Structure 1
Amino acid sequence: MINNISKITIYVQDQEQAKNFWVNKLKFIVKFEQQMGPNMKWIEVAPNETSQTTFVLYDKNMMKTQNPKVNIEHPSIILSTTNIEEAYTEMKNNSVTVGEMMTMPYGKMFSFKDCDNNDYLLREDK
């Protein structure tokens, strides 16, 4: 029935600032960008060209206008890496707000924040 996770929406205050964060600080790419009327763009970013899942950077105020009942305050997203120490160092060097490195029985991980102060978790896949 369902064979893929396609898109995850992240509600942002400023789409261009959010795009800059994901592309320039976390080295994502823009997979799709299109004007959707006079006041909004549809922007999708992903870790690489072959990634099947993208983040849609959606304007918070636009969503409040379109559907006031939608929770726009908290994404719950876990990303993965094969080299957690390298990712941690690179994010810190790119002025990303990162939490403490945590070592759990199932692997290492740390939290980080985007430019809208949303929390994410990066976990090492082994």
Structure 2
Amino acid sequence: MIHRIAKTTIYVNNQDEAKQFWTEKLNFVTKIDATEGPLRWIEIAPQDSEWVTIVLYDKNLMKEQCPSANADYKTVVLSTEDLDNAYNQMKAKDVEVTDIVTMPYARLFTFKDQDGNEYILREDKF
């Protein structure tokens, strides 16, 4: 049946600004950036070999296409093996971050993108 998660979507106000944030501040790579008519499809990932991607989708276009869609929904948890290094790199690039907290299950912090969407970055040790 289902054997992997393929994509998650973030609805953004400006796709160029979103792409710039993720690629320049968080070092993601652009997997796809294609346009057909009013639709621009952008997929990014932490590295080129990553299977799961984030789609940066125009929020206003989604509201036009599907008025009942919750284009404000966002809960994305990202993973790193070196939380302190990621935290320091984001701060150096002026990404808005919270303090690192230690929970019973992981160390983590949250950060915001160019639209004020909030994400969790947690340290995973396997």
Bin of the TM-score, shorter chain as denominator length: over 0.9
Runs of 4+ in structure 1 deviating by more than 3 angstroms, as ranges, are none
Q: 1:104: how far off? A: 1.3
Root-mean-square deviation (Å): 0.8
Q: Which residue of 1 aligns with 2:95?
A: 96
Q: 1:32: how far off? A: 0.7
Q: Which runs of 5+ in 1 are unaligned?
A: none
Is 1:9 matched with 2:14? no
Q: Which residue of 1 aligns with 2:34?
A: 34
Name the CA distance, whole Å, in 2 between partners of 1:110 and 1:69: 31
Aligned residues: 125
Q: Which string of whole-angstrom CA distances, capped at 9 and with x for unpartnered residues, describes residues 43-82 of structure 1?
A: 0000001111000000000001000100011211100000
Name the CA distance, whole Å, in 2 between partners of 1:40 and 1:116: 20
Alpha-carbon contact 1:74-1:118 (below 8 Å) kept? no
Name the CA distance, whole Å, in 2 between partners of 1:58 and 1:9: 7
1:1-126 equivalences under 5 Å are 1-37=1-37, 39-126=38-125
TM-score (norm 1): 0.96
Name the CA distance, whole Å, in 2 between partners of 1:40 and 1:18: 16
TM-score (norm 2): 0.96
SS at match of 1:20: helix
Name the CA distance, whole Å, in 2 between partners of 1:74 and 1:101: 24
SS at match of 2:20: helix
Q: Which runs of 5+ in 2 are unaligned?
A: none
Name the CA distance, whole Å, in 2 between partners of 1:21 and 1:40: 20
SS at match of 1:97: coil
